[in-house]
Amino acid sequence: MEQHLSWLEGTARRELIGCRATARDGTILFTPDGEAHYSALWTRDFGYMVENAFELLDATEMRAAIEYLLRGQRADGCIPDRVQVDGLPVYSAGPVDNPLGDPTADNSQFMVSLVYDYVRHTEDHAFACRWLDALRQALEFTPRDANGLVYIPPERPHSPYGFTDTIAKTGALLFSSLLYWKACNELASLCTWCGADPAPDVRRASQIERALDCLWDDDTGAYRAATRDCCQIDVWGSAFAVYSGFAQAERRARLLRFLRDRYADYVYRGQVRHLLGDETWERTLIPVPPGTYQNGAYWATASGWVLAALAEIDTPLAAQMLDDLVADFQTHGIFECVNAGYEKLDHYVASIVNPLGALRRILNKQ
């Protein structure tokens, strides 16, 4: 696997240069694709860049971009989904004039992770302390049920996790809750660095650890995406439960076996679909044709999580997956998502930085 590291790093660096855009106030923004088609800074896409390619970014520009997002926080704690180059914060997925319902249920979590990853690398604890209350308010804003899981009511569907922002998952949510668990642990670390009490955030994380059993499917050995609409086996969420460190002991072992044994049902050209086989989501917020975009296409955004899991249980399969992914990038390009006869948005940054971050993690463990 090591032979692919330098190519991934060099390519990620080029895409990160290409995705730069200058806001009206002079702040450098990092758009989701390496040709800056988007005129905005997305919270989650930037979060993946900082998490997985910190060394390829300038820390001063990174800090300014994080603050650009935080200045868009609403009085009720809501974090922007994105902030445009003209400074307009946009809180929900979809067009500004036709949003997909309420704010996406992951913006707060990615904002906490952005600050955490920046501070973890730079030790800029003053920055953490400045924004600590805003981050706690952001997590308070995120809708949750009585068990602490991120929740969307069936009668008021809206975007859940942003890489499924057209999908109407309702009830208690797997992926957004995993992100919330991760953000609680990260906020606890930020509190410790700032001399604040981390106990409330630790308790919230522990509550999620107990409550997520409601989404476990014991027959399959994997997690379901939601408790109501789209109560389907979630490949991305199951892989992320391993990658994030949430799943431990026997639950982790079951997930590893699931990802290995069902590999052919969710991987194509080294990229990963959200669901198994040719399954599509039960409910969407807008029409999404089967086999396209978030309703059956394959994404490299999740490839790194699967790659890291397979490296624990089946090293040859992991190596083959990485070989296939890099060969596809080199032959066809780095797209947002692909399928047979279908490709969407070339030069997509998360598609390159997420596998890069995972490969570094794998190699560091060897």
**What is the C-alpha to C-alpha distance for residues 115 and 280, in angstroms, rounded to an integer?**
35
Tens digits of per-residue pLDDT, 23-79?
A: 999 999 999 998 767 889 999 999 999 999 999 999 999 999 999 999 999 999 999
Is residue 167 within 8 Å of residue 294, measured between CB atoms? yes
Percent of the chain at pLDDT above 70? 99
What SS3 string covers 151-182? Answer: EECCCCCCCCCHHHCCECCCEEEHHHHHHHHH
In DSSP terms, 42 is beta-bridged to: 82
Q: Where are the domains of the chain?
A: 2-365
Is residue 7 classed as helix, strand or coil in its secondary structure? helix
Give the residue-averaged pLDDT of 332-344: 97
Residue 99 pLDDT level (bands cut at 50, 70, 90): very high
In DSSP terms, 335 is beta-bridged to: 346
- Dihedral angle at the C-alpha atoms of 318, 303, 348, 177, nearest 10 degrees? -160
**What is the C-alpha to C-alpha distance for residues 334 and 330, in angstroms, rounded to an integer?**
8
Instruction: Output the pLDDT for position 36.
Output: 67
Tens digits of per-residue pLDDT, 208-260?
A: 999 999 999 999 999 999 999 999 999 999 999 999 999 999 999 999 999 99
**What is the C-alpha to C-alpha distance for residues 239 and 241, in angstroms, rounded to an integer?**
5
Instruction: Output the pLDDT for position 177.
Output: 98
Residue type, 62: M
- Domain 2-365, second-level architecture: Alpha/alpha barrel (1.50)
List Cβ<8 Å contacts ≥24 apart for 72-79. Answer: 73/134, 73/137, 73/138, 76/141, 77/108, 77/134, 77/137, 77/138, 77/139, 77/140, 77/141, 78/103, 78/107, 78/108, 78/138, 78/141, 79/43, 79/103, 79/107, 79/108, 79/110, 79/111, 79/138, 79/141
* Statement: residue 303 has pLDDT above 90: yes
**What is the C-alpha to C-alpha distance for residues 352 and 354, in angstroms, rounded to an integer?**
6
Is residue 11 within 8 Å of residue 334, measured between CB atoms? yes
**What is the C-alpha to C-alpha distance for residues 242 and 255, in angstroms, rounded to an integer?**
7
Supply the pTM of this predicted model.
0.98
